[in-house]
Structure formats: structure tokens, C-alpha cells
């Protein structure tokens, strides 16, 4: 009798254990946060950023107010006043380049965690929609962007890193907003990382740094239905906007190439970047 | 990275090889003097001219291919192919089609940004063509071979990505001509020559698992078994792979997410394994000649229990390898406070005496830093290298290496003795990566020593069934029994905090411990409970220094020091302090002991904070909870059983 009762107890314990462990399996569990890896499911997740936990989402330093209408900086901006020969209309950025974004971008760019692309791309998409709404409001018509142009990285960097972050962000945006991406710029020489340089050095260094591939630019023009095109609007894509020298150099190269190919076509070039430093 | 694929045919046999510096390969295969000279300098056996047949035929693919693709072709190359050029073309086309057609659906693999992208047809770009002459680009044999020899000895026992190998060679001044900035193009020829002579093994950092022989036959019959990718550095499988478009090789290329913090391991990236030189064999004979100690030297000052355990491990080490191809494992199941570090010193000594190299790996960086001076003091003549993220000695080689467990991934068959501390702790808890890393860093004839106070159930079972050699150290170094936890029933911390005051029983026992002058650990499950509980306790015990800490606390290290110095008398904390902290004369209160975050290992570790010093060996341990759980019972049972074994063996001094 005693042995059968102990058997019964064992069976009871077994079923209890099995059911309690399978109950854990059945509990809804949010996937771990793409940045911090936490599986915290208590704070609700944002619809557009399901890959982030509530805590990390709260850290995104969105730019909600602009001070400089040219570069979209959230504070007073000396660079845009000093710059001559600005070849672009304006820049808009999704977020400030604060320590949080610096870390996320470092994880993505230098450590190669390409799993962060959807997150960063979605941030770009938010900024893109804001930019279109703003432009449409000021010009009283629905503004349409005809193509995305990623800022190129040097061949050396591309081989080392395996990808061009601007091109990846551009591709993501192209996919989510149904736009075309034209990879028509290239670097004329290898330059050191911009982040190690002063403003003056950056400006000198970026002069004539980029050139547009004329064949590719011509092919791009062909792909537009040029009859109905009154103004060509292109959007240059990059990850960080600091002094604007890189973006401006790209815009200059692009404007020159388009001028030589289609002198009569008015071109307006805009810049969209992930972070404004 | 893209590499050049070629086939070298000699007689009726042929072999497919890929190269990171083809000019070296052409010189090696097509210029017999170059090959003889290189072999002579590298210390390989040089065959006399008679045995070598005519200069072999070399047929190369005209375009460089992604490394992963080339490796797959080389692995599948049928050694008896007749029409080399045609066979090569067919195989390359086949592998390209397979990669493009099938791999997207590999189980568990994530893909990013590959949709709608044009994939370049590698096959269309190249063709097979014969190479007739060695290139003039190649350096002179003896110069290149000397560099290859140097690089191979520096890389011996390592498993490094190309960027890491470059950094190591640069640090040693072996990257290229003196003064010039280290560049991959300067290093690649030397590495390639070392690989041709078998001193290095070059492979993809992420690569398919080798096919079992049976499947190779199936493939010949037309079956297409799905290749499963594995990170060759950390051992992760397809579930941790992400496939993205890669500019370095121009194809959709997988990388490993699991070991991303150590630099990116990718399908088209190199993993360079340093192979043992012929000199290593000489070391092995030296090992056999010197007598192996079977007892720890008295100068180590071990207690009887420690000495017995160490003798068992020394006996295991001396027994010599069987016919196994993986290192043998030995488990040290030692109670908390047993003095594990002292016990491994004699093992390291024995290893060094035989001319071997030893590695001690521990999960936490602060333990590495704490161990460093102790090891240097114990082994003043040995070269000690300490490795952790950001360590200055990153590329050095020594007799004894101390490392955080992550650093294991950077080694390959580099050690004769590998000691892994706290095998059940982060980051290896339930982690198959440990097994992979531990087996990989140890030489096949070496020994793996596992240390734990709370081995995972799987190891306990293996030990009980006799499948795992082990020894138990059931008593602390001071030869007193472990404090047995007392179970008390009170409401959960949440409920306690909802009501005013604190349960009388808890207050009474806290008061008792404070009165006897002990330091009090109070463990809770949730970080959010720490601060409210500290408030409540401060009100209950005015005049007593009470504080709290958790993983989120930037002041943690300072508070622990103050707690040790009795500046704080009662510390409320989470499992973050369950291990590695030794505070003289301390009592342990575990609240919510029935909570699911405290498993038996965790409870034993927390209980192990009490009674560690010689002066106060009998600390008090309480399990407070609203229910009695399996984990609590199991923890108490394990503690009691260790005490029983200690008593039976006469280790206790009463």
C-alpha cells in the first residue's frame, strides 16, 4: 500500500512539474530587444518598432523641433550661414546624434550588426514622411521624390565592412516608401574617417571627393518619364549629418552631372540623414 | 573576401585548393626549386628529387570566387576526375546554382535586404584555364618562407579572423617590411605559404559542417543534402546566422550573430587556425620522459580534502590519453569556499613541468583580475598572459594564460591543460557553446578540468553514471561543515511591502544576526524590490547602516567594498552577488526563496556566502518563502549530502 501511494505521489509530482513547465512555454514572450537583448514584455512595444523594448524605444532622441530651416538642426546653426554654394535645398534628420544613437550606429556600422537595419531604416522612414509632409505644406502641392541617391563609401571601406550603410538605409527606405534607388555616386579617393577630423579639415577634404557616374545618371534620367517631369527632385541618403560638407559635395557632384546631361531640367536636391550631430 | 580556386593534378590524382595569394601557389607548384627551398626553411621534410614526379598541371578558375563557394567546391572535388577543366566548370556551376537556389530556405536563418537584388552570376564570369608559369610577382623563396615560418609560430594554437591575425602579426613586428603600415596584401603571401605547408589551416569563419562519409556517397548518387552552416569560431548553428548582401565577396553571405562582440565571423571571412609544428612532437616526447607527480607537493599547503582531490586530478592527468580524439574531461565538484584556486595550482605546476601550456578561464573579468597576482606569485618563473576585453596582452603567448571565457574562441588546440571555472555561470549556463569552446582550445591529448560548486544536472548525472571522471570536495578549506539553511514561512516580498511593518519572525532573526555582529546579505528576486525594502529595513533598524544594490547600480563595486569593511552592515541585493563575494562573518537571508528565479544552484551559491572565514565558520542561512519548493529541498539536500560525505571521510575537525 505504501509503495503504491508513493508511486501515486510521484505521478502527481510529475504531472505537476510537466504542466507548470509547459505553462511557461505557453506564456506570451516578446522577442528579445534588438539593442539590449532584454525580454521585458511588461512595457508595451511601439507598433513601428516591435524589435525594441519599451525602455530602449524611450531613449530615441527624435528631432521634433527645428531651428535651422536648411539643415534641420534643433539648435542655432553656424555652419549653414558660413557655407557658400550650397547645392541642396535642405537636410532633415530623424534623430539627434546623442550617445545612444552613437552606440546604436557603432553596433551597426563597426561591429557589423546588420540586424539593426530594420530599426534604423524605420527611423529614416519616419523622418522621410515628416519631410514630405513639411515640403508639401510649404509648396502647397504634393511633393514627390523621384529617386534616392546613397552617399558612397570608398572601395577599401566597402571591402572591410562588407556593406555601405547609406546604401542599406536607402534600400530599406526605397522598399518601405516605394521609391527607386540609384547608386550613381562614387568616391574619387579614399579619405580617412570623418569622425577624426576638425571642421576645416572636413571641408577641405570633401572638396571634389565625389563624382557621379555619367552613364548611370543618364540611365536614371531615361527611366523617368521625362515628358511629365517639371522639376526633378532627388534625395541624398546618409547616416550622419555633421557640417554638411559630405552631403553638399555629393549634391554638387550630382547637380553638375545632371546639368551636363539635361541642362533644361530644373533639379532640386534634398538630404535625408538618420542623425544630426 | 574572394579567393582564387584551382586544381593541381599530379599523375592521376588531383586536388582542388583555393588561395588568398595565388602567385605563391603558382611558384610553389610550378617551380620545384621554390618548393624545395620553402620546405627547407620551414623545416618540413624535403623529398629527394627522384620521388617527386614531373611538375604538376595547374588549372585555375579565371575569376576570384567568394571564399565560401570556393571552399565548398574544394571540399567536393572528386580526386579522380579526368577532364579537369570540364569537371571544374561543372562543379563551380553546380555549387553556384545550389547556393542561389536553395540556401534562402535554410532552417532558422534570417535574411536581410536580399530581396529584389540582382545576384551576380559567378559562373558566367569565369572559366577554367591552365597556369603554365610561376609569376615573377612572388618573393624569393627563402625570404617568404622565413616570414611564413615566423607567422606560423606566432599563430600556433590560435583561431583568428583575418583582421585579428593582422593585428597580432603587426604587434609582433611580423606583418611586413619594417616601418610600413601593416596591410593584408603584405601578410597574405606568407600565410598562404604556411597553409600550403600545413602549418596553418585557412577556412571560412562560417562554414558548412563537414559531410559525413555516407552523405558524400549519397551526393554522388544525386542526393542534395542541405548543408548546415556553423560558426567555426563559436560553434553556433544556423539559428544564429544572418544572411546579408556582402560587398566583400559580392554574394549573399552569412554571418554569426552569437559572437558578434568579438568581431564579425562571416562565410566569406577567413578563420586562420595555427597548427602544431613538428617541434611540438618533440615537446610531447619530453613530456613522456619526465616523471609525472601523483601527489601535490606539501609546499602548496592544502587541506586533506583538497590534497585528496588534487591527487585524483593529477592521477587522471598522468593516465595519458586513450584513443580519443577529443580532450578528456574531469569535474571538480567543490563546495563553495573549498579553495578551488589553491587546488588547481598543483595541476598547473604538473602541466608546466611537462613543458605544456595551461589555460584558466573564468566567466567574470573581475575574477580574472583578482586571480592574476595570485598566479604570478605562485609561478614566478612562468610567463603569465592575462586576457579579457581590452587587455594589453591580447596578442602575447605565455606558459599560463588567464582569460575570460569569451577569449576561448580565439584559440585552437593551444593548451595541454584547460581549467574552466564556474562552468554553470553566465555566459555558459545551459550553453552548448561552452562544450564547443572547451573542446576546441584544448589539444586532443590534453585535459579539460571543470570547476563548479553547483554543476548542472546533466554533468551531475554523467558523474553519477560514471561517464564523467570527477572528484567531490565536500568540505571548506577551514574544515567546518557547510551551514544548512533553515526554512521559514512568511509572505512574499510584494505582499510584505503592501502592508506596514515587517513579519515578526524575520525581524527577530535579523535582530539576532545583527546582535551577534554579523554582516547580513538579504537576497531578493526583483531589482524593483531592493529600494523599498531598504527603506522599510532602515525604519525597523534605525542606527544600523543598511544599503541596497543590483546590476543596475553604478556604485555596486564601492558598496561591496564598504560592506566587506563593515561600513554597511546589511546589504539588500539580487542574484548579482550570489557568487565570488567573500565577506567575513556573514549571515544570509533569502527572501522569496520559492520564486522561480532562484533555482537550486542559485540557492546553494547564495547560501555559500555564509560562514566562509575561519573565525566564523558557522554562519546562519535562512530560506524565507511562502511555499516549500523543489529547488529549496534540492539545495538543502545537496548541502546536507556534502556535509555527510565530509564527515564520513573524516575531513571535519570537531
The answer to whether residue B210 sits within a structural domain is yes
> Which regions in chain B score pLDDT beneath 70?
45-54, 100-125, 137, 175-182, 211-216, 219-220, 222-227, 277-293, 320-324, 426-431, 654
The answer to whether residue B44 sits within a structural domain is yes
CA distance B245 to chain A (A): 7
Residue-level pLDDT at B118: 38
**For chain B, what is the radius of gyration of the CA atoms?**
30
- Top pLDDT among B210 and A36 is at A36
Instruction: Give one word for A135, left, alpha or beta, with left for phi > 0 and alpha for psi -120 to 50.
Output: alpha
Contact B258, B267 (CB under 8 A): no
Q: In Å, how far are B166, B206, B304, B476, B617 from B613, measured between CA atoms? A: 48, 49, 18, 10, 6
| Closest residue by Cα to residue B168 from B216, B200, B197, B144 | B200
Per-residue pLDDT tens digits for B398-426? 999 999 888 989 999 999 999 998 887 75
CB contact under 8 A, B244 and A114: yes
Per-residue pLDDT tens digits for B489-533? 999 999 999 988 889 999 999 999 999 999 999 999 988 899 999
Select from B274, B300, B324 the last residue of a domain.
Answer: B274
Inform me whether the C-beta atom of residue A159 falls under 8 Å from chain B C-beta atoms. Answer: yes
Q: Which residues of B touch A172 (CB under 8 A)?
A: 113
Residue-level pLDDT at B582: 84
CA distance A31 to chain B (A): 14
| Closest residue by Cα to residue B141 from B21, B27, B305, B244 | B27
The answer to whether residue B201 sits within a structural domain is yes
Helix axes B365-378, B340-353, angle to 10 degrees: 60
CB contact under 8 A, B246 and A162: yes
For residues B180 and B303, state if they share a domain: no
A164: its cell numbers: 555601405
Inform me whether the C-beta atom of residue A261 falls under 8 Å from chain B C-beta atoms. Answer: no
Please give the Cα distance from A256 to B169 (Å, whole number). 46
CB contact under 8 A, A17 and B630: yes
CB contact under 8 A, A112 and B255: yes
CB contact under 8 A, A163 and B255: no
Contact A185, A254 (CB under 8 A): yes
Q: Of the candidates B113, B248, B264, which has its C-beta nearest A171's C-beta? A: B113
For residues B297 and B441, state if they share a domain: yes
| Closest residue by Cα to residue A49 from A108, A113, A125 | A125
For residues B506 and B450, state if they share a domain: no
Helix axes A245-261, A214-223, angle to 10 degrees: 70
Residue-level pLDDT at A169: 95
For residues B257 and B373, state if they share a domain: no
The answer as to CATH 3.30.700 being correct for domain A61-276 is no
Residue A97 has pLDDT above 90, yes or no: yes
Least confident of A117-121, A210-214, B43-47, B579-583: B43-47
Burial zone of B64 (CB within 10 Å; 0-12 exposed, 13-18 middle, 19+ buried): buried
Task: Report the domain count for chain B.
Answer: 3
For residues B267 and B336, state if they share a domain: no
Residue A192 has pLDDT above 80, yes or no: no
CA distance A217 to chain B (A): 19
Select from B274, B305, B320 the last residue of a domain.
Answer: B274
Inform me whether the C-beta atom of residue A17 falls under 8 Å from chain B C-beta atoms. Answer: yes
Q: Of the candidates B110, B247, B257, which has its C-beta nearest A163's C-beta? A: B247
Residue-level pLDDT at B426: 56
Please give the Cα distance from A103 to A89 (Å, whole number). 30
Q: Of the candidates A158, A171, A175, which has its C-beta nearest B247's C-beta? A: A158
Per-chain mean pLDDT for chain B: 84
For residues B443 and B328, state if they share a domain: yes
For residues B468 and B523, state if they share a domain: no
Q: Within the 95-114 window of chain A, which residues sit less than 8 Å (CB to CB) from chain B?
A: 111-114
The answer to whether residue B478 sits within a structural domain is no
A259: its cell numbers: 546639368
The B-side interface with A (CB below 8 A) comprises 110, 112-113, 115-116, 242, 244-248, 253, 255, 257, 260-261, 264, 266, 630
The answer to whether residue B285 sits within a structural domain is no
Residue-level pLDDT at A166: 95
Residue-level pLDDT at A133: 92
Residue-level pLDDT at B100: 67
For residues B340 and B414, state if they share a domain: yes
Q: Which domain holds residue B613?
A: 486-648
Residue A23 has pLDDT above 80, yes or no: no
Strands (E), B36-102: 57-61, 65-66
For residues B212 and B136, state if they share a domain: yes
A75-93 mean pLDDT: 84
CA distance B526 to chain A (A): 13
Q: How does DSSP assign B169-210, residue by residue?
A: HHHTT-SSSTTSPP-HHHHHHHHHHHHHTTSEEEEESEEEPP
Residue-level pLDDT at B7: 93
For residues B386 and B298, state if they share a domain: yes
β-partners of residue B245 are: B252
Q: Within the 40-79 window of chain A, which residues sit less than 8 Å (CB to CB) from chain B?
A: none
B4: its cell numbers: 582564387
Cβ contacts of B212 within 8 Å, gap of 6 or more: none
Please give the Cα distance from B205 to B255 (Å, whole number). 9
Helix axes B630-648, B600-607, angle to 10 degrees: 50
Task: Parse chain A into domains and list their residue ranges.
Answer: 61-276
Per-residue pLDDT tens digits for B160-207? 999 999 999 988 877 665 545 558 888 999 999 999 999 999 999 999
Residue-level pLDDT at A131: 93
The answer to whether residue B654 sits within a structural domain is no
The answer to whether residue B368 sits within a structural domain is yes
Residue A3 has pLDDT above 60, yes or no: no
For residues B33 and B152, state if they share a domain: yes
A contact test, residue of B244, B265, B628, B634 with most A CBs within 10 A:
B244
CA distance A176 to chain B (A): 12
Select from B426, B449, B473 the last residue of a domain.
Answer: B473
Q: Which residues of B touch A161 (CB under 8 A)?
A: 247
Q: Of the candidates B247, B257, B260, which has its C-beta nearest A162's C-beta? A: B247
B179: its cell numbers: 616601418
Please give the Cα distance from B328 to B317 (Å, whole number). 9
CB contact under 8 A, B112 and A164: no
For residue B629, give the CATH number of its domain: 3.40.50.300
CA distance A239 to chain B (A): 17
SS (H, E, C) B529-586: HHHHHHHHHHHHCCCCCEEECCCCCCCHHHHHHHHHCCCCCEEEECHHHCCCCCCCCE
For residues B466 and B585, state if they share a domain: no
Helix axes A199-206, A245-261, angle to 10 degrees: 20
Q: How does DSSP assign A203-244, residue by residue?
A: HHHHTT-EEE-HHHHHHHHHHS-GGG-SSEEEEEEEEEESSS
| Closest residue by Cα to residue A149 from A262, A269, A66 | A269
Q: Which residues of B touch A117 (CB under 8 A)?
A: 112-113
CA distance B246 to chain A (A): 5
The answer to whether residue B438 sits within a structural domain is yes
Amino acid at each position: 500500500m505504501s509503495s503504491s501511494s508513493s508511486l501515486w505521489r510521484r505521478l502527481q509530482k510529475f504531472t505537476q512539474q510537466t504542466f507548470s513547465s509547459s505553462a511557461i512555454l505557453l506564456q506570451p514572450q516578446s522577442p528579445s530587444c534588438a539593442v539590449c537583448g532584454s525580454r521585458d514584455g511588461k512595457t508595451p512595444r511601439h507598433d513601428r518598432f516591435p524589435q525594441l523594448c519599451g525602455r530602449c524605444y524611450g531613449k530615441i532622441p527624435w528631432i521634433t523641433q527645428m531651428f535651422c530651416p536648411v539643415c534641420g538642426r534643433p539648435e542655432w546653426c553656424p555652419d549653414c550661414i558660413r557655407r557658400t554654394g550650397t547645392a541642396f535645398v535642405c537636410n532633415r534628420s530623424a534623430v539627434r546624434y546623442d550617445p545612444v544613437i552613437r552606440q546604436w550606429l557603432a553596433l551597426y556600422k563597426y561591429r557589423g550588426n546588420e540586424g539593426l537595419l530594420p530599426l534604423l531604416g524605420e527611423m529614416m522612414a519616419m523622418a522621410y514622411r515628416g519631410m514630405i509632409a513639411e515640403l508639401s505644406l510649404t509648396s502647397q502641392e504634393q511633393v514627390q521624390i523621384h529617386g534616392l541617391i546613397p552617399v558612397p563609401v570608398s572601395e577599401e571601406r566597402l571591402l572591410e565592412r562588407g556593406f555601405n550603410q547609406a546604401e542599406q538605409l536607402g534600400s530599406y527606405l526605397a522598399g518601405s516608401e516605394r521609391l527607386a534607388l540609384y547608386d550613381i555616386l562614387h568616391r574619387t579617393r579614399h579619405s580617412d574617417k570623418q569622425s577624426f577630423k576638425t571642421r576645416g579639415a572636413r571641408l577641405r577634404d570633401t572638396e571634389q571627393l565625389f563624382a557621379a557616374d555619367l552613364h548611370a545618371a543618364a540611365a536614371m534620367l531615361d527611366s523617368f518619364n521625362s515628358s511629365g517631369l517639371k522639376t526633378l527632385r532627388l534625395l541624398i541618403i546618409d547616416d550622419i549629418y555633421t557640417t554638411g560638407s559630405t552631403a553638399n559635395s555629393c549634391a554638387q557632384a550630382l547637380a553638375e552631372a545632371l546639368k551636363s546631361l539635361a541642362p533644361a531640367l530644373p533639379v532640386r536636391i534634398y538630404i535625408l540623414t538618420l542623425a544630426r550631430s | 573576401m574572394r579567393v582564387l580556386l584551382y586544381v593541381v593534378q599530379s599523375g592521376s590524382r588531383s586536388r582542388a585548393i583555393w588561395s588568398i595569394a595565388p602567385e605563391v601557389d603558382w611558384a610553389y607548384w610550378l617551380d620545384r626549386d621554390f618548393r624545395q627551398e620553402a620546405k627547407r626553411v620551414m623545416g618540413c621534410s624535403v623529398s629527394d628529387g627522384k620521388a617527386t614526379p614531373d611538375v604538376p598541371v595547374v588549372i585555375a578558375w579565371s575569376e576570384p570566387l567568394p571564399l565560401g563557394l570556393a571552399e565548398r567546391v574544394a571540399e567536393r572535388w572528386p580526386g579522380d576526375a579526368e577532364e579537369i577543366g570540364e569537371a571544374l566548370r561543372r562543379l563551380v556551376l553546380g555549387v553556384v546554382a545550389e547556393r542561389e537556389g536553395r540556401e534562402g530556405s535554410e532552417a532558422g536563418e534570417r535574411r536581410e535586404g536580399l530581396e529584389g537584388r540582382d545576384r551576380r552570376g559567378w559562373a558566367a564570369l569565369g572559366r577554367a584555364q591552365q597556369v603554365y608559369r610561376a609569376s615573377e610577382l612572388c618573393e624569393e623563396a627563402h625570404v617568404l618562407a622565413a616570414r611564413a615560418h615566423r607567422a606560423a609560430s606566432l599563430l600556433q594554437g590560435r583561431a583568428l579572423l583575418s583582421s585579428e591575425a593582422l593585428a597580432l602579426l603587426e604587434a609582433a613586428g611580423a606583418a611586413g617590411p619594417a616601418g610600413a603600415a601593416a596591410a593584408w596584401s603584405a601578410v597574405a603571401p606568407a600565410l598562404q605559404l604556411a597553409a600550403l605547408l600545413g602549418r596553418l589551416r585557412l577556412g571560412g569563419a562560417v562554414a558548412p559542417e563537414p559531410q559525413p562519409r555516407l552523405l558524400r556517397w549519397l551526393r554522388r548518387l544525386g542526393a542534395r543534402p542541405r548543408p548546415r552552416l556553423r560558426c567555426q569560431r563559436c560553434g553556433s548553428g544556423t539559428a544564429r546566422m544572418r544572411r546579408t548582401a556582402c560587398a566583400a565577396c559580392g554574394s549573399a553571405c552569412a554571418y554569426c550573430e552569437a559572437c558578434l562582440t568579438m568581431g564579425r565571423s562571416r562565410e566569406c571571412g577567413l578563420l586562420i587556425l595555427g597548427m602544431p609544428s613538428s617541434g611540438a612532437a618533440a615537446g610531447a616526447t619530453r613530456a613522456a620522459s619526465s616523471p609525472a607527480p601523483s601527489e601535490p607537493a606539501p609546499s602548496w599547503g592544502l587541506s586533506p580534502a583538497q590534497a585528496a582531490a588534487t591527487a585524483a586530478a593529477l592521477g587522471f592527468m598522468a593516465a595519458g590519453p586513450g584513443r580519443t580524439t577529443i580532450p578528456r574531461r574531469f569535474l571538480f565538484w567543490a563546495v563553495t569556499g573549498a579553495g578551488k584556486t589553491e587546488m588547481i595550482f598543483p595541476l598547473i605546476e604538473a602541466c608546466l613541468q611537462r613543458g605544456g601550456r595551461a589555460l584558466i578561464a573564468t566567466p567574470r573579468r573581475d575574477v580574472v583580475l583578482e586571480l592574476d597576482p595570485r598566479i604570478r606569485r605562485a609561478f614566478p618563473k612562468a610567463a603569465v598572459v592575462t586576457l579579457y576585453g581590452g587587455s594589453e596582452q591580447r596578442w602575447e603567448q605565455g606558459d599560463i594564460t588567464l582569460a575570460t571565457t569569451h577569449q576561448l574562441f580565439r584559440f585552437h588546440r593551444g593548451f595541454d591543460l584547460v581549467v574552466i571555472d564556474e562552468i554553470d555561470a553566465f555566459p555558459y549556463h545551459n550553453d552548448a557553446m561552452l562544450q564547443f569552446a572547451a573542446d576546441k582550445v584544448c589539444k586532443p591529448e590534453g585535459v579539460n578540468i571543470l570547476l563548479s560548486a553547483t554543476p548542472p544536472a546533466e554533468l551531475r548525472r554523467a558523474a553519477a553514471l560514471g561517464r564523467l571522471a570527477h572528484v567531490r570536495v565536500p568540505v571548506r578549506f577551514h574544515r567546518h561543515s557547510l551551514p544548512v539553511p533553515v526554512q521559514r514561512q512568511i509572505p512574499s516580498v510584494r505582499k510584505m511591502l503592501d502592508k506596514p511593518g515587517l513579519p515578526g519572525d524575520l525581524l527577530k532573526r535579523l535582530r539576532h544576526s545583527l546582535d551577534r555582529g554579523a554582516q547580513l546579505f538579504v537576497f531578493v528576486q526583483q531589482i524593483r524590490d531592493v529600494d523599498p525594502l531598504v527603506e522599510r529595513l532602515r525604519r525597523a533598524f534605525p542606527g544600523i547602516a543598511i544599503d541596497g544594490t543590483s546590476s543596475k547600480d553604478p556604485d555596486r563595486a564601492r558598496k561591496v567594498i564598504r560592506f566587506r569593511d563593515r561600513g554597511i552592515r546589511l546589504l539588500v541585493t539580487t542574484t548579482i552577488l550570489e557568487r565570488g563575494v567573500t565577506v567575513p562573518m556573514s549571515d544570509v537571508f533569502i527572501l522569496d526563496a520559492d520564486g522561480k528565479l532562484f533555482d537550486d544552484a542559485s540557492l546553494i551559491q547564495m547560501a555559500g556566502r555564509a560562514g566562509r572565514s575561519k573565525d566564523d565558520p558557522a554562519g546562519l542561512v535562512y530560506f524565507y518563502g511562502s511555499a516549500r519548493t523543489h529547488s529549496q529541498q534540492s539545495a538543502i539536500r545537496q548541502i546536507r549530502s556534502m556535509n555527510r560525505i565530509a564527515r564520513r571521510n573524516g575531513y571535519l575537525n570537531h
